[in-house]
Amino acid sequence: MPDATGLELIAQRVREKVGDEAVTGTLYYRRHATLDVAPSSVRDVIAYLRDGEDEPWERLMSVHGVDYLPEEPRLGVHYELLSMERADRLNVRTRVGTDEPRVPSVVDLHPTADFQEREVFDMFGVVFDGHPDMRRILMPEDYEGYPQRRDFPMGGEPVIYTFNEPKLPRWYD
Amino acid sequence: MEVTRTKVDGDLRVRQMKAQQLLRGELEGEDLEREVEQRLLFTKFEEAQNWARKNALFPLGFGLACCAIEMITVVGSPRNDLSRFGAEVIRFSPRQADLLILSGRVSIKMAPIIRRLYEQMLEPKWVIAMGACSSSAGMFNNYAVVQGADKFLPVDVYVPGCPPRPEALIYGIMKLQDQIMGDPAMGWRERYRAEGTEEVA
């Protein structure tokens, strides 16, 4: 991981090359460097981190969705970048609200993001603009809702055990 | 060692000779009546049919999850040797199979496919829910897994376990064989009062 100083240098270069409003913050926590970016400039930041002169982050390892329920904006998308040259990792993350969760797609930069963005769409409902095939990937195509969001019901059936039903009647309600 | 010719041997000779004569048509009258009565085994047609069915169960070659590995070692391996009970010939086409072993968790995306496979199997057909997941979703009490395969299929035998021991699955299959012998009404729609649930193309 780049150390805290290296992370600030990266953030500085991104601000210069992509735009001042692109970086919203940095986080260096437990030796993990994280760059917070605005959702509209995700693609530009990742393109710069891949192709920029001083930037070695040529590989996208994974894309995740997160739901930070009490906070606003609620949904987050995390991109984990890897540099084989420096044997180093950098997280790029962005936050979008649930009312219009739109993030530009990075499939044209990193083809591996294809299925992973579909999974984030499937589980969290984040729409990736410019994705060639924005469909559900794991759940059935006619499924309603985004099951990994925290306000989505757990599903399944309440299990009644012999010990908890007398003690806690209708505990599952 | 002295070899003694017993009376049974003599009887056997006589019976063999009588059988020859019976086949050649040389026996007549009272002799023929007695011989036929001794040699025939009377049973009901349904029972003979069920006996044949229970000893020729063809499981569908179909696995869902981790229980499938266990199912393969039970149905397909010589160590457990399910052919002792006449149920080991795996058919990979639902048209030729008459036993569906649901081995693993049933996701809601898989459920319509399983139902279609089940509809494609020829009657009479039976279903074994193997393991906790297909019986009651087991630990997968969530949005993605069907809470028990009996929500959309008639299940005949539930085998608990995670996964069940091979002996448990063999015992389940033997229980199913008992059921086949005991229940002459083999159409599952009548059994489960499920008329009118046919899939419409």
Residue B110: closest C-alpha in chain A = A140
Which one of A136, A143, A151 makes the best mutation probe of the B interface by having the most chain B beta carbons within 10 Å? A143
Q: Which residue has the higher pLDDT, A156 or B143?
A: B143
The model's pLDDT over B66-84, given as tens digits with 9 standing for 90+, comes to: 999 999 999 888 888 888 8
Per-residue model confidence (pLDDT) at position B184 = 56
What structural domains and CATH numbers belong to chain A? 4-129 (3.30.460.80)
Predicted TM-score (pTM) of this structure: 0.76
Torsion over CA: B134, B135, B140, B143 (sign): positive
Task: Give the mean pLDDT of A56-81.
Answer: 92
B141 and A140 in contact by Cβ < 8 A? no
Task: Give the mean pLDDT of A93-98.
Answer: 92
Provide the chain B residues 91-110 that lie in CB contact (below 8 A) with chain A.
Answer: 108-109
Position A109 pLDDT exceeds 80: yes
Query: In chain A, what percentage of residues exceed pLDDT 90?
Result: 51
Task: Give the mean pLDDT of B154-166.
Answer: 91
Rounded to whole angstroms, the Cα distance separating A138 from B79 reads: 37
The answer to whether the beta carbons of residues A96 and A120 sit under 8 Å apart is no
Position B27 pLDDT exceeds 90: no
Average model confidence (pLDDT) across chain A: 88
Q: Hey, is B39 helix, strand or coil?
A: helix
Q: Closest Cα of chain B to A53: distance in Å?
A: 45
Which one of B113, B114, B141 makes the best mutation probe of the A interface by having the most chain A beta carbons within 10 Å? B141
Q: Closest Cα of chain A to B162: distance in Å?
A: 18
Q: Give the count of beta carbons closer than 10 Å to the beta carbon of residue B150.
A: 18
